């Protein structure tokens, strides 16, 4: 559910995460503390390999930190049972990846309906919301198309609509337009920002593109495993 402006939707406290391969331990995130409020859009800009995806996966409850806490809308995810954790991920968090990850055998409309069906919405309500969201992205004429019949920009618009399907309080995006040509990326990114602003959710968006980052409310970066404001 979208929260009132100013309410904290994501809070990371002293988060650390390392990867062990062979004899080596790579301390990717050393000490991350960060808060994101409803209605706020934050850019995460940092060089390749510094841990942006790792951070987004932890914030999106797709991965767990070695230490520290991740709160989603005030709920400490570390204290949730697995099924509650999945429910929070499904209802509170929308995730957009660089590659669309749509299900190829389902139409655009069905892809946007699916997370709603998982959240136990009625088929009728899910369909109505899917059509409305896809309409917002100018895809009224593509509802029954399979992803393989859509352009890259259209595929990514469907993926964004799917992330918004359950009215999450938090949107996390990992290079959401990084796979598109510059012009299409620019347009889709503006559409994404417009949708996020009009829904009032909090968003953390990783990008390598400084121009796109400048359109957000604030910019943070990763340095030596810690998060700094730019």
Ligand X SMILES: Nc1ncnc2c1ncn2[C@@H]1O[C@H](COP(=O)(O)OP(=O)(O)OP(=O)(O)O)[C@@H](O)[C@H]1O
Binding interface with ligand X (CB under 6 A): 19, 21, 26, 28, 46, 48-54
| Of 97 and 137, CB closest to ligand X | 97
What would the DSSP string read from start to end of 141-155?
Answer: GGTT--GGGS-HHHH
| Of 12 and 161, CB closest to ligand X | 12
Rounded Cα–Cα distance for residues 169 and 216 (Å): 17
Could you tell me the smallest distance in angstroms from the CB atom of residue 70 to ligand X?
16
Alpha-carbon distances, residue 70 vs 75, 106, 230 (angstroms): 8, 33, 23
Could you tell me the smallest distance in angstroms from the CB atom of residue 124 to ligand X?
39
| Helix (H), strand (E) counts: the chain | 7, 10
Could you tell me the smallest distance in angstroms from the CB atom of residue 57 to ligand X?
8
Instruction: Go through the chain and tell me how many residues it has.
Output: 230
Report yes or no: 190 and 211 within 8 Å, Cβ to Cβ: no
Could you tell me which of 102, 19, 106, 33 has the C-alpha nearest to residue 64? 19
| Of 6 and 22, CB closest to ligand X | 22
Could you tell me the smallest distance in angstroms from the CB atom of residue 195 to ligand X?
24
| Of 101 and 145, CB closest to ligand X | 101
| Of 44 and 136, CB closest to ligand X | 44
Is residue 94 left, alpha or beta, with left meaning phi > 0 and alpha meaning psi from -120 to 50? beta
Could you tell me the smallest distance in angstroms from the CB atom of residue 209 to ligand X?
12
């Amino acid at each position: 559910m979208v929260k009132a402006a100013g309410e904290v939707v994501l809070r990371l406290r002293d988060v650390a995460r390392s990867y062990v391969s062979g004899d080596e331990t790579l301390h990717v995130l050393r000490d991350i503390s960060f808060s994101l409020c409803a209605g706020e859009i934050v850019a995460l800009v940092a060089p390749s390999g510094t841990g942006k995806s790792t951070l987004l996966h932890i914030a999106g409850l797709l991965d767990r930190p070695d230490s520290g806490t991740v709160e989603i809308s005030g709920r400490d995810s570390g204290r949730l049972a697995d099924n509650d954790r999945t429910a929070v991920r499904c209802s509170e968090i929308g995730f957009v990846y660089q590659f669309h990850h749509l299900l190829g055998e389902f139409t655009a409309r069905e892809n946007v309906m699916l997370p709603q069906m998982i959240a136990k919405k009625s088929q009728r309500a899910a369909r109505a919301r899917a059509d409305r969201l896809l309409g917002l992205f100018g895809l009224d004429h593509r509802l029954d198309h399979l992803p393989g019949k859509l352009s890259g920009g259209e595929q990514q618009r469907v993926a964004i609509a799917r992330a918004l399907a359950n009215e999450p309080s938090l949107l996390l995006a990992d290079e959401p337009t990084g796979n598109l040509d510059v012009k299409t990326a620019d347009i889709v990114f503006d559409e994404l920002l417009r949708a996020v602003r009009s829904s009032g959710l909090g968003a953390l968006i990783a990008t390598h593109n400084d121009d796109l980052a400048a359109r957000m409310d604030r910019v943070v970066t990763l340095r030596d495993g810690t998060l700094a404001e730019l």
